[in-house]
Homo-oligomer: A and B are copies of this chain.
């Protein structure tokens, strides 16, 4: 079913549905509805039903969605039944935060290695990892067959390091550097940009009242 050409904006909502479902599991819930999911997420129930219907028939008239079943299906669709290893590049503040981040558990990813180019940092710990020399990046990432990287180097180095990652076989980069990467087709990049979030919320701030 996933061979259809599904808009990326629909794919982008699936992890958000999954997160809401996982919270419901923690609350001890068994069933939910598109109405309830919609209210929690601020998305219309019709949109949720339409999104999910692109991948199959997951709910039943009357009882709604079995939360555990729907979660499993979303994990399968998103290819996160397996755990993907991540290479973190850059052991500055953000790199250290990522190496110690508590939010990865049971969500399909784990940090596997961290690199930096600073001789003062190489060999020192970051989270549970020892910071490795970025000169070893291509060899180690290739050997470990790592497909996912988080890029947390200064903007001036981001493009060059990203190309190294791609050469080593990385297909998916989460970019924390405030710069747009220019990479070959087939490599997917998301930018973590706090300003996008802040600007969206500023719409709701009333400048007259502040």
| Interface residue ranges, A against B (CB under 8 Å) | 8-9, 11-12, 14-16, 18-19, 23, 42-43, 77-82, 84, 86, 92-94, 96-98, 100-104, 107-109, 145, 147-148, 150, 155, 171-172, 174, 178, 180, 188, 190, 192-207, 210
Task: Return the contact of A172 from the options B15, B155, B198 (Cβ within 8 A).
Answer: B198
Q: Nearest residue in B to A75 (C-beta to C-beta)? A: B199
Q: Contacts A15-B196, A195-B15 hold; do A147 and B210 have CB atoms under 8 A apart?
A: yes
Q: Nearest Cβ in chain B — how far from A101, in angstroms?
A: 7
CA distance A120 to B146 in the complex (A): 38
Task: Return the contact of A199 from the options B78, B94, B100 (Cβ within 8 A).
Answer: B78
Q: Which of A15, A201, A204 has the most CB of B within 10 A?
A: A201
Protomer copies? 2
Contacts of A86 in B (CB 8 A): 198
5 more A-B residue pairs beyond the given contacts A109-B195, A171-B204, with a C-beta to C-beta distance below 8 A: A15-B196, A19-B193, A84-B202, A147-B205, A190-B200
Q: Are B23 and A202 in contact (CB under 8 A)?
A: no
Q: Are B197 and A190 in contact (CB under 8 A)?
A: yes
Q: Contacts A77-B203, A92-B97 hold; do A174 and B194 have CB atoms under 8 A apart?
A: yes
Q: Nearest residue in B to A84 (C-beta to C-beta)? A: B202
